[in-house]
């Protein structure tokens, strides 16, 4: 085989492998996107203790 033909096969192999990897990534992304997801929204009163607010008001002389 000539060197040019070997290089062409090498480039073609890299392109095919890259294409397969891209398809696999897209496939796994699509599977993950299809899973049911839940958005959790926290209001500040749900995760900030009243003690924290009281201590801040006392230390900052604020209300």
- Select from 58, 42, 38 the least CA-distant residue to 50: 58
Boundaries of every domain in the chain: 3-60
In tens, the pLDDT along 16-53 reads 888 888 888 888 877 766 667 777 777 777 777 888 88
Which pLDDT belongs to residue 1?
A: 57
> Where residue 56 falls among pLDDT bands split at 50, 70, 90?
confident
CA angle 48, 51, 52 (to 5 degrees): 55
Which pLDDT belongs to residue 34?
A: 66
């Amino acid at each position: 085989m000539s060197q040019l033909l070997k290089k062409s096969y090498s480039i073609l192999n890299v392109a095919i492998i890259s294409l397969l990897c891209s398809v696999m990534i897209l496939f796994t992304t699509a599977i993950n996107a299809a899973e049911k997801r839940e958005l959790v929204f926290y209001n500040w009163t749900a995760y900030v203790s009243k003690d924290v607010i009281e201590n801040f008001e006392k230390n900052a002389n604020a209300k």
